Amino acid sequence: MTTTHDRSTDEANATDEASEPAASPTSNPTGHSQPGFEVPVGEDPAATCERCGRPFPTTMHRDLHLGEVHVEELTEREHERYEDAVEAETDELFVYHLKVIAALASMYAVLVLVYMVVLSL
């Protein structure tokens, strides 16, 4: 009985250990380690993480960082700002996808027109 319980605990620990290395690259996609971030001379970061000191170009990036890296320590207000930042990022991504689709459709139309002109010569 005890052995079975120990095994399940060991498996849970092994799963946690296995998932942590996979989770850390996604939580820190820039590959920067803590906290040696360099800000170019003449530029001030718009926001800085209060917990790890990482600088960000916008407050939205800081809010996204808080929700992804410091999720256990978030206050209610920070969690709301994270939700707003995720929604804003989703909207920006949707508009970006529309622009990509419009660009691809335009390129396809131009290519077909040029092909038709060349065929008619």
Q: How far is the CB of 52 from Zn ion (least distance, A)?
A: 3
Q: Which is nearer to Zn ion, 11 or 35 (CB)?
A: 35
Contact (Cβ atoms closer than 8 angstroms) between residue 87 and residue 94: no
Contact (Cβ atoms closer than 8 angstroms) between residue 46 and residue 57: yes
Separation of alpha carbons 54 and 74, rounded Å: 16
Give residues in contact with Zn ion (CB under 5 A).
49, 51-52
Separation of alpha carbons 39 and 57, rounded Å: 10
Q: How far is the CB of 28 from Zn ion (least distance, A)?
A: 10
Contact (Cβ atoms closer than 8 angstroms) between residue 62 and residue 47: yes
Q: Which is nearer to Zn ion, 36 or 42 (CB)?
A: 36
Q: Which is nearer to Zn ion, 32 or 97 (CB)?
A: 32
Q: How far is the CB of 54 from Zn ion (least distance, A)?
A: 5
Angle between helices 76-120 and 59-69 in degrees, nearest 10? 110
Q: Which is nearer to Zn ion, 70 or 89 (CB)?
A: 70
Q: How far is the CB of 61 from Zn ion (least distance, A)?
A: 11
